[in-house]
Amino acid sequence: MLLEFSQYLENYLWPNYSPEVSSKPYLMSICCMVNEKFRENVPAWETFKKKPQHFPYFFKSIMEASVQGQTESDYALHELTVLLLFLDHCFNSLEVDLIRGQIQQLISLPMWTSLQPSRLEQELKKTQKLKKFWNLIKKADEKMDIKAQKQAIQERTFLCHLIQKFLSVLRSIPATGPASMDRVHYCERFIEFIIDLEALLPTRRWFNTVLDDSHLVVHCYLSCLYHREQEGHLFSQLLDMLKFYAGFEINDQTGNALTENEMTTIHYDRITSLQRAAFAHFPELHNFALSNVAAVDTRESLVKLFGPLNPDTLHQVASYLCLLPALNEGQKTEYEKEFLLELLVSRHERRISQIQQLNQMPLYPTEKIVWDENIVPTEYYSGEGCLALPKLNLQFLTLHDYLLRNFNLFRLESTYEIRQDIEDVVCRMKPWQSEYGGLVFGGWARMAQPIVAFSVVEVAKPNIGENWPTRVRADVTINLNIQNQIKDEWEALRKHDVCFLITLRPSMPYGTKIDRRQSIIDQTGLMYVRGCEIQGMLDEKGRVIEEGPEPKPKLKGESRTFRVFLDPNQYQQDMTNTIQNGAEDVYETFNLIMRRKPKENNFKAVLETIRKLMNTDCVVPDWLHDIILGYGDPGSAHYTKMPNQIPTLDFNDTFLSLEHLKSCFPEHQVKVTVDEPSFHKAPFRITFPVLGGKGKKRKEGSEEEPAQDVMSTLIVEPHVIPNRGPYPYNQPKRNTIQFTATQTEAIRAGMQPGLTMVVGPPGTGKTDVAVQIISNLYHNFPEQRTLIVTHSNQALNQLFEKIMALDIDERHLLRLGHGEEELETEKDFSRYGRVNYVLARRLELLREVGRLQESLGVPGDVSYTCETAGHFFLYQIMSRWEAYLSKVKSKSSNTPDVSDISKHFPFHCYFSNAPQPIFKRQTYEEDMELAEGCFRHIKKIFTQLEEFRAFELLRSGLDRSKYLLVKEAKIIAMTCTHAALKRHDLVELGFKYDNILMEEAAQILEIETFIPLLLQNPEDGFSRLKRWIMIGDHHQLPPVIKNMAFQKYSNMEQSLFTRFVRLGVPTVDLDAQGRARASLCNLYNWRYKSLGNLPHVQLLPEFQTANAGLLYDFQLINVEDFNGVGESEPNPYFYQNLAEAEYAVALFMYMRLLGYPANRISILTTYNGQKHLIRDIINQRCGKTPLIGQPSKVTTVDRFQGQQNDYIILSLVRTKAVGHLRDVRRLVVAMSRARLGLYIFARVSLFQNCFELTPAFSQLTARPLRLHILPEEFFPTQRRNGEMPPYPAQVIKNMPEMAAYVYNMYMHMIRSSQLQYQYRQGLLPPPTATRQTNDFSMQDEDMEVDAEAVQYGSEKAEQGNPAKETRVLTTENKAILLETKAKETGKDEQTQIETHSLSCEVHRSEAGHTGVKPAEPGPMEAQESETALKDSEKQTQSRKEGTDITDGEQEEEMNVGEGEGASKGLENEQEDKEHPKMPQHPGRDSDSEYSEDEGTED
């Protein structure tokens, strides 16, 4: 890893490689470096692309080394394993042209030369074209010279030789005794390699036949390694995966998925061909030959029929089927009978279909899966070994394969989280063995309760054709003798909530401590885990309490019984095991029930959704199908290649003026249909030349110049939006953003049919583009419906708030899910909120109808219902309007009088409350348009009432909300999680939509991106989906995957958006940012194609002005060890750095003292451990100081993605290794959060040497590495950015100096101001360097019950909202701060005594207030500072318990404001007492459990 980090490959190995210097050490070094790059998840092939000429020779050398015979001792087995892993990486990198060129020669049709002749003939007969191609290959071979022929044979037989090499290693592993782990690892890696070849269509197409001909799977199943329980465990799991893919339901040549009927036909053909051979040549098999297929196609019957035959006869049967070469006359077979029998049986036995297997699979994990390290690895997965996990790469075999891999990975990722929860809960419960051998719990947990009674109450009969019950229900009784708050949580368990039933049989005596570093299962005696789904709580009569609007009945006592659904598949498997094998009945043993947080507990619903998708015909639009699987032309779904392009589009208010329009199409000529310049006003309709489509291919060199002019001309037609009425609110809302040319191209692409992918770097207006696309689709295609999907509620709410500012009728907006509560508006866009809006709007409109009736003097009550209003419109309004038109419309003979329009207008009385006069009486056309506008206003009232008429007929809120969703709403928004959870309900309702827009697409899991495509039933076998717009940024952080193995090994963090980019799907790259200063943008714009700045970044005053009190707008500040300690790791992966944390807080305090608003400063870090440390230091040093207060947010970089602030203080934490910041995507997010100022604290010597980070750190290190401050300058300053001040900057050498400076600055301000008594207790002394080493030892693992009560009895109190900020920096205060500078160098003795006495008093007060032990009195200020630091660390210890694999895990965010008032004192005191003290599971993010959650799921 150290060599790879120091660019050994880029700087030495590959630049100096040539055939002359190629040797075994050289080859091994390169392969090791490439493998390490893949393990670290950094780009591996860039170096080879720069110097590709020697790669073919290098690759051939690897091939030769890989297939060396057993006698050659050049390469040891562990070295061959390295080469094998390198080859696997090559075969999985087919998108790289350099690699693909070498791989294609190994996996093309000529590789069939390694088939036995009879099998080759049989395969060529199946397809006539193949025979033709084969003859062409043979002719080409005849023309080759001997050297080329030799090379061709080597390439074609390479994989076959590699298989033979593997089989020789496999046979060398004995059945018993010690087994060489090098051989085992080689075999495991080889099976992984073969699985990867089989799981990609380009590699599988011809290789699958070669694999079948080698009978590799049969050899492996009969091998000694497969039957070794310990060493062969992973091998056997990998082999099951290989068997699955070898028999996958796909036509290898065409790539088409095979239906169940086609698979049955193939099975019957195999059996009947075997029966024909038996009938013709083997009299002893006549019984078999004459039996029906169903009677002889099971494993038992085949073994019974073929078992008595001798090996030679079995060989002859196999040779008739072209499975083995034929025996000569009198020749004996060299194969063992066991192999021959298994070959025939495994080939002809009936297989259960993949969909049947899936339907029989339990959805809940059991103890066998939860703690199997090969399937669900721990968080400490290093990437060294292989695992029995599916991989998400670029391509998939079929939609079924695509869904199945995602299903399995989603299930296992959920299992990993469930395991963490179970282990945490079981440790908290402290199960011990009592004196009498029973179970006693020494602790308690908020999320678990001991089971008092458990009984299965119903096992329903199976459906026809199934062997598992339709449902299994049980009753679970628990005793809720706990705090009311927690009791309420248990009683609030709702229908469909998932719980887990656990059996514990501990062997440890009472009082034994549980060591979380050792196996939890062994220590706690954990035997069984089964999932269940809540149906409801039972009332006193034993009936399920139904959910509804009425209040739940109050139950007496503490005992509560829940009715739960058990998994029918799991129940059937358990009962079968109990009956057939005499195993224990699991369902009589449960003694603990565990619940989970609702937001983390939706895995079962998502898995059911995926399983239902696999059981239905997934109808993906034809234009998307191949792209989703990763095949064909990646640009085939781009609008320029779609056959149904729309030539003329109304861009509505996209363009602000004609000049704006012209600037957005610089490569086109603009031809306006109207010559009069005064009419050249927005909105515009644009007619585009229709491009390409799916026409014939143009021959090379054909003339296309004459067509260029026609293709580059845009016909622009300005048009006027018809008058909507005389009231001010009738005027349409207009867009005010001046879109750039690339933004306009994104909007145009989004309006056209097809797939549109928009890459939006930070600050480039992704949301504005999305909103404009939605608005334009709404106006261009009013009959179509658009679905908006985002990753988070926050992004959805941002979109909605901008949509509401455009010209979209709010009755057509609907927001599904639970995030609408966060919308910063009084309007409710949820389903029931919209129903209420419609009902209120109906009454409002009916009142308008009543007023209209009254103004016309029509008798009766026409405004009673929508129906009566409709009759009124038809018979009263329309008749008056038609009569009016007949009077004022121009006759052919004479021109009408302008005054007639006003004189005959029938609705003057109704519009009397509109701005007067209604008619201007200047021109006939103008007044006529005003009159028609008034009528449009009236007509719209009745149109809406007609739409609302259904709400009079539908009486229940549920029916009304369904109608709204299916019929009324035109723009429907939801998160991807909500779509996955509710797909079944939406399809059942008949939900329909035409367009999908996805925001944050690069942050959404692959499967959660795919599911929203299928939220509707197909129409006549076709999907009605017309457009799919994805907006995201694959250069920022991917979806959060908690388990490193799934993230890295299975590539589960790859979003569909990222995969499409890798495949080469065309994208629109937004290229102008308006968020940050140009200098800050330079820190990350190198990652994008051509990211520039919008003009306002240079022009607006806030960007032109310097950052007050700081010499630079961004700076990297080097932080050395403090008291000999740099980074520390109190728990695995829970990284902290006290020096950086103190420095970051000191800078924040300094900025606040200069007058920066607290809400404009955020502190970010790359690890959760550091986040907690910074929060604790802030609480200690600033929390009770209104003058300083709290920053806007203290959180991790990962959690801050998608957000921004003016000033960012960033701590990079690590001092020993770069860690996960090496992922350039995380660096981009970190560098792009600040608008005006970025200040980074890090160990410069570590980060500047990291190759991947060089473009950013070369700019950062160009500036001084010590903090340069200007204490004489206050916020806001008049100094321009980049301008040097008239006085020298003060250079801060290290953290203690900065902390002391800020402390003295604060003390001078307080002591010399009127605020002395109010604030004198507000600040702890600064940290001082001492010889003391920081003790980051783990807290005692013995979790006392009352400590848990503190943790769970009351959640961490939410930080107080800031008091409204007051500016405390008066002229007098500024003078005081200037005085600080003067006195800094030499304080007189009196000042030192004053400072000492004041700081002692402050510290004593602080210690007494927070319950921290006060410092011993001493004569030196250093003594105080040291004690204060210890106190700070004491409180901080409570946070040093969790771990931090990646900072992107589920975690709470600190959302606090500018300061806290003194009135919060008692509340803060309570908070301090309730500071969390429970140790978390090692390796566990301390935020991911039982803390406030900001998860984005619905």
Q: What is the mean pLDDT of each run of 10 residues along the chain (1498 residues)?
A: 73 89 90 89 88 92 82 75 94 91 92 92 88 90 89 92 94 90 94 95 93 95 92 93 93 88 91 90 88 90 92 92 89 91 93 85 91 81 84 91 92 91 93 88 93 94 89 94 91 90 91 84 92 92 79 85 94 93 92 89 88 86 92 92 91 91 90 85 87 46 44 85 86 88 94 95 92 94 94 85 85 78 63 84 92 89 90 91 86 72 88 88 86 92 91 85 86 90 89 93 92 87 90 92 86 93 94 93 92 89 93 95 91 90 95 94 95 94 83 94 94 92 92 95 91 91 95 90 90 94 88 59 68 38 34 34 36 41 40 36 35 34 40 44 41 38 36 35 33 35
Q: What is the DSSP letter of 329?
A: T
Taking each helix axis from N to C terminus, what angle separates 260-281 and 337-348, rounded to the nearest 10 degrees? 140
End-to-end CA distance of the chain: 41
Return the closest-CA partner of residue 747 out of 514, 1036, 935, 1027: 1027
* Cα–Cα distance for residue pair 77/83, rounded to 1 Å: 10
Count of H helices and E strands in the chain? 61, 31
Tens digits of residue pLDDT in 782-801 = 999 999 999 888 888 888 88
Residues 6 or more apart from 1467 whose CB is under 8 A from it?
1357, 1360
Burial label, 1377 (beta-carbon count in 10 A; 0-12, 13-18, 19+): buried
- Write down the residue that tokens 């406030």 correspond to: 1492
* Cα–Cα distance for residue pair 951/957, rounded to 1 Å: 9
Residue 790 sits at φ, ψ, to 5 deg, of -135, 170
* Cα–Cα distance for residue pair 181/186, rounded to 1 Å: 8
Does residue 1033 contact residue 758 with C-beta atoms inside 8 Å? no
* Cα–Cα distance for residue pair 398/402, rounded to 1 Å: 6
Q: In which element (H, E) is residue 419 found?
A: helix 399-429
For strands 1290-1292 and 1161-1165, give the pairing. Answer: unpaired
Cα angle 1022, 1024, 1028 (rounded to 5 degrees) comes to: 120
Q: How many CB atoms lie within 10 A of CB 1122?
A: 23
- Write down the residue that tokens 């790059």 correspond to: 37
Dihedral sign for Cα atoms in the order 1268, 1269, 1275, 1279: negative
Tens digits of residue pLDDT in 1016-1034 = 888 777 888 999 999 999 9
* Cα–Cα distance for residue pair 1375/953, rounded to 1 Å: 74
The two tokens of residue 1227 are: 């660096």
What is the pLDDT, as a whole number, of residue 1428?
Answer: 40
What is the pLDDT, as a whole number, of residue 73?
Answer: 52
**For the chain, what percentages of helix, strand and coil (3-state, to nearest 5) are there?**
50, 10, 40
Integer-rounded Cα radius of gyration of the chain: 37
The two tokens of residue 586 are: 């699991």
* Cα–Cα distance for residue pair 26/1359, rounded to 1 Å: 59
Transcribe 1161-1196 into DSSP letters: EEEEESSHHHHHHHHHHHHHHTTT-TTT---SEEEE
Does residue 1187 contact residue 1152 with C-beta atoms inside 8 Å? yes
Residues 6 or more apart from 246 whose CB is under 8 A from it?
198, 208, 211, 212, 217
Helix (H, G, I), strand (E, B) or coil at 1479: coil
What is the pLDDT, as a whole number, of residue 1319?
Answer: 52
Cα angle 1467, 1468, 1473 (rounded to 5 degrees) comes to: 100
The two tokens of residue 798 are: 């941002």
Residues 6 or more apart from 833 whose CB is under 8 A from it?
820, 827
